[in-house]
């Protein structure tokens, strides 16, 4: 029950002192594994998705439950916020995506149908007029937010997709897949621009552009590796080691509010925080009772939320000690 968590390694001597995070609150509400948790871009809301087929919107300040979004007929794997924090798009095993209004009356505005298999990952482009989704049917679909039309289907990989993410200006999509490859696509016409990794194993479990769109953070299912790539040169710059990840597609993220960190879940039930530059692990947050599948950082405050699987079913919120 040591919620405060103990620093694993002393922080590096130079840049801003790392203040350890401590447990603030545990959010219960899902009856199955929580698959995804994300702060809205304006920082006021937090949304979580679960295998119990529902999503819950929480207030990120009071951490109280505001609304439960019900409608999917199967578990929800991923969710994404529109840039203006008005809408949520959820990806479900029922082969559809749904666009929800994140403000009262919390309606489901659209159901995006087309994928031939479970939809695993979803993201809005920065202008939020497009949605990219990745599915077990091995395709990326690009949808128009306004009308819900599918604009493009990219036969992207030879195994299920694990992540799709737009860069800063929305011109590129990065995708990762169980086929072990990580590819970059032109959003406009769906053409392949670059293959970053093309190994059969390990599977690429997560890929995401850095906030400025210059680098890609890639996680692979071989227990140790989180790599930061410079995609234009095709070289990786940093490796972050020390967490456990061999079977789940764990979402990691950049923390930029107070110093620069990489934050990720781990299969040893911890949340791991690394120094971006030094690559050393700064803290392991303990408290979850199962694999931490997803972490999210508040856009302005030093706040982390993490979600955990079936033995735990909670979202935990962590804040930096003063």
Partner 1 sequence: MNAPIIDPLQGDFPEVIEEYLEHGIMKCIAFNRRGTLLAAGCADGTCIIWDFETRGIAKELQDKDCNAAITSVCWSKYGHRILVSASDKSLILWDVLSGEKIARTTLEQTVLQARLHPGSSTPSLCLACPFSSAPMIVDIISGTTTVLPVLISEAGNGIAPNARSKTPDGSTTYSPSTACFNKFGDLVYTGNSKGEILIIDHEKVQVRALVPVSSGSIIRNIVFSRNGQYLLTNTNDRMIRIYENLLPMKDAHKVLDELHETLDEADEVEKLKAAGTKCLSLVQEFQDSINRIQWKAPCFSGDGEWVISGSASRGEHKIYIWDRAGHLVKILEGPKEALMDLAWHPVHPLIVSVSLTGLVYIWAKDYTENWSAFAPDFKELEENEEYVEREDEFDLMPETEKVKESDVNEDDPVDILNVEKDSAFSDSDMSQEELCFLPAIPCPEVPEQQEKCVGSSSKLPDGNQSESPLSVEAGQNGHAANNASSPLEAMENSVAGETEGTRLKRRRRPSEKGLELQAEKTKKPSKTMKPSAFATQYIVGDDSGWNTEVDYYAWLEGKTFYVGDVLVFSYVKTDHNVAMVDASGYNNCNADSNYGLYDTGYDTFTLTTPGDVYFICTKAGSLCTRGWSSNLLICFLFGFSSRCRAVFSYVKGDHNVAMVDVAGCNNCNADSNYGVYDTGYDVFTLTAPGDVYFICTYHCDYADQKLKVTVQPSP
Question: Is the Cβ of residue 154 or residue 271 nearer to partner 1 in the bound state?
Answer: 154
Q: Is 47 in the site for partner 1 (CB under 8 A)?
A: no
Q: Choose, by CB under 8 A, the member of 11, 75, 114, 259 that binds partner 1.
A: 114
Of 21-29, 38-46, 49-57, 230-238, the segment contacting partner 1 by CB under 8 A is 230-238
Q: Percentage helix, strand, coil, to 5, in the chain? A: 0, 50, 50
Of 58-66, 125-133, 301-309, 311-319, the segment contacting partner 1 by CB under 8 A is 125-133
Contact between 35 and 76 (Cβ < 8 Å)? yes
Q: Is 210 in the site for partner 1 (CB under 8 A)?
A: yes
Could you write out the DSSP letters of every residue in 62-120?
Answer: T--EEEEEE--SS-EEEEEE-TTSSEEEEEETTSEEEEEESSTT--EEEEEE--SS-EE
How far, CA to CA in Å, does 10 sit from each of 6, 276, 306? 10, 15, 23
- Build a one-symbol-per-residue string for 70-99: x at contacts with partner 1 by CB under 8 A, - elsewhere: ------------x-x-xx-----------x
Question: Is the Cβ of residue 102 or residue 317 nearer to partner 1 in the bound state?
Answer: 102
Q: Choose, by CB under 8 A, the member of 28, 70, 73, 146 that binds partner 1.
A: 146
Residues with Cβ within 8 Å of residue 213, at least 6 apart in sequence: 167, 168, 169, 172
Q: Which helix (H) or strand (E) holds 47?
A: strand 45-50
* DSSP assigned state of 136: T
Residues forming beta bridges with residue 182, ordered by sequence position: 176, 197
Query: Of the candidates 99, 86, 94, 51, which has an alpha carbon nearest to the alpha carbon of residue 307?
Result: 51
- Stretch 271-290 residues interacting with partner 1 (CB under 8 A): 276-279
Question: Is the Cβ of residue 129 or residue 286 nearer to partner 1 in the bound state?
Answer: 129
- Build a one-symbol-per-residue string for 234-273: x at contacts with partner 1 by CB under 8 A, - elsewhere: xxxxxx--------------x-x---x-------------
Q: Is 128 in the site for partner 1 (CB under 8 A)?
A: yes
| In the complex, minimum distance from the CB of residue 186 to partner 1, in angstroms, rounded to a whole number | 7
Dihedral Cα 61, 308, 247, 210, nearest 10 deg: 0
Q: Is 147 in the site for partner 1 (CB under 8 A)?
A: yes
Q: Is 225 in the site for partner 1 (CB under 8 A)?
A: no
Question: Is the Cβ of residue 264 or residue 308 nearer to partner 1 in the bound state?
Answer: 264
Q: Choose, by CB under 8 A, the member of 74, 144, 268, 286 that binds partner 1.
A: 144
């Amino acid at each position: 029950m040591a919620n405060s968590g103990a620093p694993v390694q002393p922080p590096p001597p130079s840049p801003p002192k790392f203040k350890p995070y401590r447990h603030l609150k545990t959010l219960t509400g899902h009856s199955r594994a929580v698959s995804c948790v994300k702060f809205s871009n304006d920082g006021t809301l937090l949304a979580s998705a679960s295998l119990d087929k529902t999503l819950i919107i929480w207030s990120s300040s009071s951490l109280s439950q505001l609304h439960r979004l019900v409608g999917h007929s199967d578990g929800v794997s991923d969710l994404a916020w529109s840039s203006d924090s008005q809408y949520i798009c959820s990806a479900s095993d029922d082969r559809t995506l749904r666009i929800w209004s994140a403000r009262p009356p919390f309606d489901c505005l659209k159901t995006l149908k087309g994928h031939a298999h479970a939809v695993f990952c979803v993201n809005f482009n920065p202008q939020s007029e497009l949605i990219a989704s990745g599915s077990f049917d091995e395709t990326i679909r690009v949808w128009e937010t306004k009308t819900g039309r599918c604009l493009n289907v990219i036969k992207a990989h030879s195994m299920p997709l694990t992540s799709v993410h737009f860069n800063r200006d929305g011109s590129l999509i990065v995708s990762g897949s169980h086929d072990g490859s990580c590819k970059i696509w032109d959003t406009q016409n769906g053409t392949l621009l670059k293959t970053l990794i093309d190994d059969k194993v390990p599977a690429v479990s997560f890929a995401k552009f850095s906030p400025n769109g210059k680098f890609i953070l890639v996680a692979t299912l071989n227990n140790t590796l989180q790599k930061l790539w410079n995609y234009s040169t095709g070289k990786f710059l940093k490796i972050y080691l020390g967490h456990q990840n061999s079977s789940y597609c764990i979402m990691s993220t950049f923390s930029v509010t107070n110093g620069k960190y990489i934050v990720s879940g781990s299969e040893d039930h911890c949340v791991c925080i690394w120094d971006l530059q030094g690559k050393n692990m700064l803290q392991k947050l303990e408290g979850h009772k199962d694999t931490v599948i997803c972490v999210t950082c508040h856009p302005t405050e030093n706040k982390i939320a993490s979600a955990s699987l079936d033995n735990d079913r909670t979202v935990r919120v962590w804040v930096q000690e003063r």
